[in-house]
Amino acid sequence: MSVPTSSRSIEHASLHDEAVQAYQAGRHDVVRVLADRILAEDAAHVGAIHLRGLLALAAGDAQDAQRWLERAIGIRPEPILFNTLYAIHLELGDLAGAVQSIRQGLAIQPDFVAFHYNLALTLQHLGQIEDAAIGYRRTLELDPDHSAAHNNLGRVCADLGAMHEAERHYRRAMELAPGNLVARNNLAMALLATGRYEEAWPYFEDRWVSFKQSDGRPAPVPVEVPLPRWRGEGASTASGPPTTQTSTQRLLVLHEQGLGDSLQFVRYLALALKLFARVGYVCPPQLRRLYEQSLCSRWPRLELLDAVPPELSSWDQYIPLMSLPMAFATQVATIPAELPYLHADAEFAAAWRTRLEALPAPHLPRVGMVWAGGHSGIAVDRLRSLAAAQIAPLLGFPYVRWISLQKTDDPAKLPDTASNAQLIDWTDEIANFADTAALIDNLDLVISVDTSVAHLAAAMGKPVWLLNRFAGCWRWLYGRDDSPWYPGLRLFTQTRRGDWSDVLERVAAALKQTFAAQDATP
């Protein structure tokens, strides 16, 4: 005797509920058995087909998952199916398909909160931040207590230069979810960018949640070692004049983040040496020779380490490099900014000088140029970098000698034919930052995007003109064209997001004002 259709439907509904519970519990083998049992009797059961798609997605087979979801949508286009299809498109790297899936779902259920949030999130990743802001605001209209939406809307507001609104959303995100470390880190960025250092540094301790590797993947958890953490005890005495070192404590400083961060914050090692008998710094290899000739020669109690030593008995306390500003209670007015604190090797600098003086018209002022940052896999690099073709008109300025300082392993960042014709490019001979410093030592000016070479030149006391993206990094302080970190640095900041034309026009005018008055002949 056949089972009545209504009874079979009830049985399938019960099996489906059991399968959903098993999926939520992570028992995927049970889900597969139950879903297949349903589909054996009802090949058009949308819930079971959806579960098979979810299983394929969890197993890393996004293409198979897409086939299952498209089959389910073809039978009955339910909103939740489009949300899963959205996740599948993300897994496939198809952001346009992800947006299309969400918009199809919204056409069916316009007030589905997840749709508005996911659409805004994807638009934000695509750089369409004005449209992303609309999506986040709609999300918050529907769910005012959505912590992630508050945090992300804050980030969008910050990218648009609305720092006070950004701060308000970050704080609300933290109220709703005190464990939202991303919001805490973002609040730190907003406070630092507006010069509120004393309030910002404690939040800055959660910066590790935003660490990225060079390919854009999240970095590991914060750097730490099994030693007591130094948090600035006794640091108030380090701001005064040099004193006789009486402490026997030894401090291990751990490197973190990028090379530019090291070049900027390594200045604090001098302050630490006023408090500790010995300071060790785990130094990136590209910077070691530069620091040996610049720092160790002046501070013999500073030791550079290639890696965290496996045996830590030689050290008493530790601190991550970028926690030193908090340890020394740094405010904008108390930033240690005595320059230069980095130096070129005299012999290497002389070798570059000989080659530069052998060029035609050796009297011309020498200007170094960096038009693109490193780490092409990081989203911010697209915002801070220019294409070589964009700077070609600037390189046509006739009253200076243009010297390339652009190092890259990304062919897209190499100079084009027009730019290359205007540049002296010896960067193939540069192996590390000590070599770069020796070349910079012979320059009159460095023009650079926000990357490590700008920090190096500024720390050497060279004039630096920084090509700064709209609502740029916190360290440059919003609304200023100078830097308390580097008195010789001048900021040329975008007035419109993504538009370098105005920046380059102002740089060209400044070049003309600075150098055109000089006689172009010896």
pLDDT value for 1: 40
pTM of the model: 0.88
- Please report whether residue 179 resides in a domain: yes
Asked which of 185, 200, 221 is the last residue of a domain, the reply is 185
Asked whether residue 278 falls in the same domain as residue 380, the answer is: no
Show the 3-state SS of 133-161.
Answer: HHHHHHHHHHCCCCHHHHHHHHHHHHHCC
32 and 178 in a single domain? The answer is yes
Q: What is the pLDDT of residue 32?
A: 96
Cα–Cα nearest to 49, from 14, 19, 4: 19
**Do 271 and 293 reside in the same domain of the chain?**
yes
Residues 329 and 398 in one domain: no
* CATH code of residue 467: 3.40.50.2000
How many whole angstroms separate alpha carbon 425 and alpha carbon 15?
70
Domain end among 334, 360, 385: 334
Q: What local confidence, expressed as pLDDT, does residue 236 receive? A: 77
329 and 351 assigned to the same domain: no
pLDDT the model gives residue 214? 57
Q: How far apart are CA 170 and CA 162, in angstroms?
A: 12
What is the reported pLDDT for 465? 98
Residue 252, SS3? strand
12 touches 27 (CB < 8 A):
no
Same domain as 477, residue 355 = yes
Is 305 part of any domain? yes
Domains in the chain, number: 3
Which pLDDT value is given to residue 382? Answer: 87
Starting at the earlier edge strand, list the strands of the sheet with 317-320. Answer: 302-305, 278-282, 250-254, 317-320
Q: Last residue of some domain: 334, 364, 387?
A: 334
Are residues 369 and 477 part of one domain? yes
100 shares its domain with 19: yes
Within a domain: 229: no
What CATH number does residue 130 fall under? 1.25.40.10
Decide if 75 is inside a domain: yes
Give the residue from 348, 337, 342, 368 showing the smallest Cα distance to 290: 342
Q: Are residues 322 and 393 in the same domain?
A: no
- Residues in the chain with pLDDT values less than 70: 1-5, 212-220, 237-246, 375-377, 517-522
Q: Can you give the pLDDT at residue 245?
A: 56
In a domain, 339, yes or no: no
Does residue 479 sit within a domain?
yes
Mapped onto helix, strand or coil, the DSSP state of residue 403 is strand
Q: For residue 310, what is the domain's CATH number? A: 3.50.50
Separation of alpha carbons 22 and 24, rounded Å:
5
Alpha carbons 248 and 242: distance in angstroms, whole number: 17
Confirm whether 230 is domain-assigned. no
Residues 275, 395, single domain; the answer is no
Asked if residue 197 is part of any domain, the answer here is no
Question: Can you state the angle between helices 113-125 and 95-108, rounded to 10 degrees?
Answer: 160
What is the domain range of residue 97? 5-185
Q: Are residues 507 and 385 in the same domain?
A: yes
Same domain, 408 and 456: yes
Question: What ranges in 358-432 are assigned the alpha helix state H?
Answer: 379-384, 388-395, 417-420
